[in-house]
C-alpha cells in the first residue's frame, strides 16, 4: 500500500485559513491593471474637457441671447464682451490642442509605426449590429472588441469632424471682411447657422452619449488613472487583452531604427508646427471684427429745441393757372383756373414748417413741407 507524502506547510502559511488564501489569490488577480493611456494623453484630455466646456457655456448663450438662462450666463461672466473673450480664448486652446494631436498621431504613425486601431472597418459595422441585437435580446453575447470599440471610434471621428467644422465656420465669423473678399457675403450667415447647429449637436452628443456610456452605465476611470483592471479589459476590450498576454499588442522598434526615423520626423514636424501656429495667429489677428458693446448711459441725450420758434412761412403770390388766397384764420386755398372744387391748404402747424393739405371731394389729408408747396402750386 503506497503512502502519499505531502510537503509540510510553513507555520505562517499553515495558520492562514483556506478561504483567506483563496481570497488573497483572487484579490491579486483582480488588482492587476494594464496601462491604457499615457500621461500626455491624460493632460490632453483634461485640456479638451476644459476648452469644450468653456466653449459650450459661453457659445450657447450667444446663440440664444434673449433667453432667461442665456442672459443669466452672460451676466455671470461679466457681460457680453467678457463672454466673447472667454469663448475666443477657449477656441485658441482647442486649436493648439488640435495641432499637438496632429503631431502626436504623426509620430506614432511614421516613427513608432503603431497599428491604426482607431480607423473604422467592416468589423465595427458587425460589432454595432451585434451590440444592437444583444441590447434587444436577440443576440446571446456581446461582440468581442479590441483596443477601441465602435462607440469610441464614432466619438473620436465625430470630434474630428466637429472640430474641423467649428474651426472653419469660426474663422468665417471671426474674420468676415477677409472671408467675403474671396467668398460671397451669404457665407457669413451660413457659417453662423452651421456653427450654432454643430455646437448643439456636440453638446447633445457629450451629454447623451459620452457621459452615459463612460460615467453612468459603467464608470470608466482610465482617462484619469491611465489604467484599466483586468476585469474591465475582459468586459470592454477582450481582444486587446488577448494581444497583450500574447505579447503582440505593440511592435517593438530597434533603438537605432527609431533614432533614424526621429531625425527625419522632427524637422518635418517642426516646419508643420510653425505653419499651423502661423495659421492660428492669422486666425486671431487678421482683423478686429467683434462689435464693441457700449454700456447704457443713464443720462438721456436732450432733444434739440430751438431757442426761438420757427416763423410761419410766407407765400409769395406768383403768376400761374390758379391763385392762393390767405384768410385771417390761416386757411390757404388754391383754386386752379377759378374752379370751386380745388385744394385747401390749412396751416395746421406752421411753426413746425408743415402744411396740412386736404382735397374737398375726397377728404384725404396729407402733410406737405413748405418746400413742397411750390410743386403743388405749379
Task: Quote the CA–CA distance of 152 and 209 in Å, as a whole number.
Answer: 10
290 in a structural domain: no
293 in a structural domain: no
pLDDT at 153: 95
211 in a structural domain: yes
Region for 153 from its dihedrals, namely left if φ exceeds 0, alpha if ψ lies in -120 to 50, beta otherwise:
alpha
Residues 277 and 339 in one domain: no
153 in a structural domain: yes
Query: What global pTM score does this model have?
Result: 0.69
354 in a structural domain: yes
Task: Quote the CA–CA distance of 48 and 54 in Å, as a whole number.
Answer: 10
Q: How far is CA 360 from CA 324, 341, 348, 363, in A?
A: 16, 6, 16, 6
Domain that holds residue 35: 31-285
Domain boundary among 265, 285, 305: 285
pLDDT band at residue 315 using 50, 70 and 90 as cut-offs: low
Average pLDDT for 317-339: 42
Residues 240 and 142 in one domain: yes
φ, ψ of residue 139 to 5 degrees: the values are: -80, 150
Extract the C-alpha cell encoding 251.
511592435
The predicted-structure confidence for 66-89, as pLDDT tens digits, reads as follows 999 999 999 999 999 899 999 999
Extract the C-alpha cell encoding 259.
533614432
Residues 220 and 364 in one domain: no
Identify the weakest region by mean pLDDT among 15-19, 176-180, 219-223, 230-234: 15-19
Residues 281 and 336 in one domain: no
Residues 236 and 370 in one domain: no
Question: What are the residues whose beta carbons fall under 8 Å from the beta carbon of 363, sequence distance 6 or more?
Answer: none
Structure letter (DSSP) for residue 351: G
Residues 274 and 339 in one domain: no
- Three-state secondary-structure class, residue 235: helix
Residues 103 and 252 in one domain: yes
Task: Quote the CA–CA distance of 145 and 235 in Å, as a whole number.
Answer: 9
Task: Pinpoint the alpha helices (H) of the chain.
Answer: 11-15, 18-30, 39-63, 68-76, 80-107, 122-135, 150-174, 176-180, 187-205, 211, 222-225, 230-236, 238-246, 255-285, 370-377
2 in a structural domain: no
Q: Which residue has the higher pLDDT, 245 or 351?
A: 245
**Number of independent structural domains in the chain:** 2
Q: What is the rounded (10 degree) CA torsion for 70, 72, 73, 78?
A: 130
Residues 117 and 247 in one domain: yes
Asked if the model's pLDDT at residue 201 lies above 80, the reply is yes
Domain boundary among 285, 311, 336: 285
Domain boundary among 285, 303, 332: 285
Asked if the model's pLDDT at residue 342 lies above 60, the reply is no
Cβ atoms of 330 and 347 within 8 Å: the answer is: yes
φ, ψ of residue 2 to 5 degrees: the values are: -80, 150
pLDDT band at residue 247 using 50, 70 and 90 as cut-offs: confident
Paired strand residues for 35: 227
pLDDT at 287: 81
φ, ψ of residue 356 to 5 degrees: the values are: -95, 130
pLDDT at 289: 63
Asked if the model's pLDDT at residue 13 lies above 70, the reply is no
Residues 359 and 259 in one domain: no
331 in a structural domain: yes
292 in a structural domain: no
Residues 189 and 55 in one domain: yes
Asked if the model's pLDDT at residue 28 lies above 60, the reply is no
Residues 210 and 347 in one domain: no
Percent of the chain having pLDDT more than 70?
Answer: 68
Residues 239 and 335 in one domain: no
Amino acid at each position: 500500500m503506497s503512502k502519499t507524502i505531502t510537503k509540510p506547510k510553513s507555520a505562517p502559511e499553515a495558520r492562514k485559513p483556506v478561504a483567506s488564501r483563496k481570497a488573497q489569490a483572487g484579490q491579486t488577480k483582480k488588482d492587476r491593471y494594464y496601462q491604457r493611456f499615457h500621461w500626455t494623453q491624460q493632460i490632453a484630455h483634461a485640456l479638451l474637457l476644459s476648452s469644450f466646456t468653456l466653449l459650450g457655456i459661453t457659445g450657447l448663450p450667444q446663440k440664444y441671447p434673449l433667453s432667461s438662462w442665456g442672459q443669466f450666463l452672460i451676466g455671470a461672466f461679466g457681460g457680453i464682451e467678457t463672454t466673447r473673450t472667454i469663448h475666443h480664448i477657449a477656441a485658441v486652446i482647442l486649436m493648439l490642442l488640435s495641432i499637438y494631436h496632429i503631431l502626436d498621431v504623426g509620430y506614432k504613425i511614421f516613427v513608432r509605426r503603431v497599428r491604426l486601431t482607431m480607423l473604422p472597418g467592416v468589423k465595427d459595422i458587425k460589432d454595432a449590429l451585434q451590440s444592437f441585437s444583444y441590447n434587444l435580446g436577440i443576440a446571446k453575447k456581446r461582440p468581442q472588441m479590441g483596443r477601441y470599440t465602435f462607440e469610441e471610434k464614432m466619438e473620436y471621428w465625430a470630434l474630428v469632424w466637429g472640430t474641423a467644422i467649428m474651426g472653419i465656420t469660426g474663422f468665417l465669423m471671426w474674420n468676415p471682411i477677409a472671408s467675403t473678399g474671396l467668398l460671397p457675403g451669404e457665407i457669413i450667415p451660413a457659417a453662423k447657422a452651421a456653427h450654432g447647429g454643430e455646437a448643439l449637436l456636440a453638446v447633445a452628443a457629450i451629454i447623451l452619449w459620452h457621459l452615459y456610456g463612460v460615467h453612468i452605465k459603467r464608470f470608466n476611470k482610465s482617462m484619469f488613472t491611465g489604467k484599466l483592471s483586468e476585469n474591465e479589459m475582459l468586459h470592454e476590450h477582450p481582444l486587446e487583452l488577448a494581444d497583450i498576454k500574447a505579447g503582440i499588442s505593440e511592435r517593438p522598434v530597434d533603438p537605432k531604427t527609431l533614432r533614424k526615423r526621429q531625425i527625419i520626423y522632427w524637422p518635418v514636424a517642426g516646419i508643420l508646427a510653425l505653419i499651423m501656429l502661423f495659421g492660428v495667429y492669422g486666425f486671431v489677428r487678421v482683423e478686429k471684427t467683434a462689435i464693441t458693446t457700449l454700456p447704457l448711459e443713464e443720462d438721456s441725450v436732450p432733444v434739440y429745441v430751438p431757442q426761438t420758434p420757427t416763423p410761419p412761412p410766407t407765400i409769395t403770390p406768383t403768376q400761374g393757372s390758379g391763385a392762393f388766397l390767405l384768410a385771417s384764420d390761416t386757411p390757404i386755398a388754391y383754386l386752379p383756373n377759378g374752379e370751386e372744387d380745388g385744394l385747401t391748404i390749412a396751416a395746421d402747424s406752421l411753426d413746425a414748417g408743415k402744411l396740412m393739405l386736404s382735397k374737398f371731394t375726397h377728404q384725404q389729408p396729407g402733410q406737405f413741407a413748405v418746400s413742397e408747396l411750390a410743386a403743388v402750386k405749379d
